[in-house]
Structure 1
C-alpha cells in the first residue's frame, strides 16, 4: 500500500516539525540498521542534536530517570489485577485512572482509584466508556485489513452505535 499522508497522532506528544520529517528520519534509521527499527537505534540516532528527533527525549539524566520511574510506577499500578468471586474468569485492573491533572506546562499528574470507586463515580464512568470507545476504534482501525476479524468489526460498530444512541437520548 502507498502512504498518502503522515501526521502526528491526535492527543499525543508531538515535535515542532512536521510528522513527515520525523517519519523520514525514522525510515533512515531503519535503513541504516538492516531494515529493522528499534528503540535503541532511535535513541542512538536522536542523541545527535541535529536530529529532528532530539527534542523528543529528556537528555538530562536525573530528570530522565525521574520520568522513567514515574512511568514504571504507572505500569506497576496498571499491572495489578483483581478477580471477583462472582466472575472468576474475568480479571480486571485493580486501579483505574480517575483523572489526569495538568500540573504545569509539561507534566501531568495521573490519579488512580480502585476499580469500584472508578465505576461508581458517574463522571468517571462516562470517561471510562469514552476511553473504551476510543480504544475499540483504534483497535478497529489497526486491524481493519484483516478479513478474518470482520465479525468483530461489525460487533464493534454496533456497540459504538448503541452507546452513541444512549448518549443522544440520555
Structure 2
C-alpha cells in the first residue's frame, strides 16, 4: 500500500501563521521518517523544524517565553482533565467521574464542574455532542479492527437527544 496524499485530521488546530498545506507537511514528515529508518520521534520533527526553511517551522512557537507560557497552559489543561471527583448519593454507590468538562463556547471556552454542566441543558448538549464526535473520530480511527466491531454495532443504537433551539 502507498500513501496517495495527506490531509490534516478533522478539528486539528495549529498556531496562528502556520502553513496549512497538509500535503507539503505530510510529505516532509514522511521524508523524515524514511531518513530515520522508519522510526520518527517528536524530537526529530522539532529538530528539523528549527530550520527556517523547513515546511514545519511555522507550526512551532520559537519565542521561548511565549512557548513556555503555551506549554504551561497545556499542562494546566492536562491537570484539569486529570482530576477525578468521587460523587456520593445516599441512594447509590460512590461514582468516579471526571471532575471538570471542557465547554468550548465561542469567545469564552472554559471548564465546568461535570455534574453542574450536565444539569444545564445547553452545556449538557455541548458535552454530549462533543463526546459523540470524539467517539465517532475514535471509531473512524479503529474501524478496521475486527475486535471492536461489536462496540461499533452497539453504538449505532445510541440516540442523542435532539438539540433544543432557543
The TM-score normalised by the length of structure 1 is: 0.84
Q: Which of 30, 33, 43 is equivalent to 2:33?
A: 30
Paired residue total: 159
Instruction: Output the CA distance in 2 between the equivalents of 1:87 and 1:35.
Output: 49
Is the partner of 1:73 in helix, strand or coil?
helix
Is the 2:84–2:97 contact (alpha carbons within 8 Å) kept by the matching residues of 1? yes
Q: 1:114 to 1:34 in 2, by over 3 A?
A: same
Higher relative contact order, chain-length normalized (CA < 8 Å, sep 6+): 2
Of residues 6-15 and 33-42 in structure 1, the stretch that sits farther from structure 2 once superposed is: 6-15
Q: Which residue does 1:7 correspond to in 2?
A: 7
Is the partner of 1:167 in helix, strand or coil?
coil
Return structure 1 stretches of 4+ with deviation > 4 angstroms.
none
Q: Which residue does 2:50 correspond to in 1?
A: 47
The answer as to 2:101 corresponding to 1:96 is yes
Of residues 47-56 and 10-19 in structure 1, the stretch that sits farther from structure 2 once superposed is: 10-19
CA offsets per residue over residues 72-108 of structure 1, 9 Å max, x none? Answer: 01111111001223344x4211111133444xxxxxx
CA offsets per residue over residues 125-150 of structure 1, 9 Å max, x none? Answer: 00111111101101111111111211
The TM-score normalised by the length of structure 2 is: 0.85
Shift of 1:123: 0.9
Shift of 1:153: 0.7
Of residues 53-62 and 113-122 in structure 1, the stretch that sits farther from structure 2 once superposed is: 113-122
Q: Which residue does 1:126 correspond to in 2?
A: 125
Is the 1:136–1:156 contact (alpha carbons within 8 Å) kept by the matching residues of 2? no
The answer as to 2:162 corresponding to 1:167 is yes
Instruction: Output the CA distance in 1 between the equivalents of 2:73 and 2:163.
Output: 38
Output the aligned Cα RMSD.
Answer: 2.1
Question: Of Structure 1 and Structure 2, which has the larger fraction of its residues in helix?
Answer: 1
Instruction: Output the CA distance in 1 between the equivalents of 2:164 and 2:124.
Output: 17
Instruction: Output the CA distance in 2 between the equivalents of 1:168 and 1:76.
Output: 30
Unaligned runs of 5+ in 1: 103-108
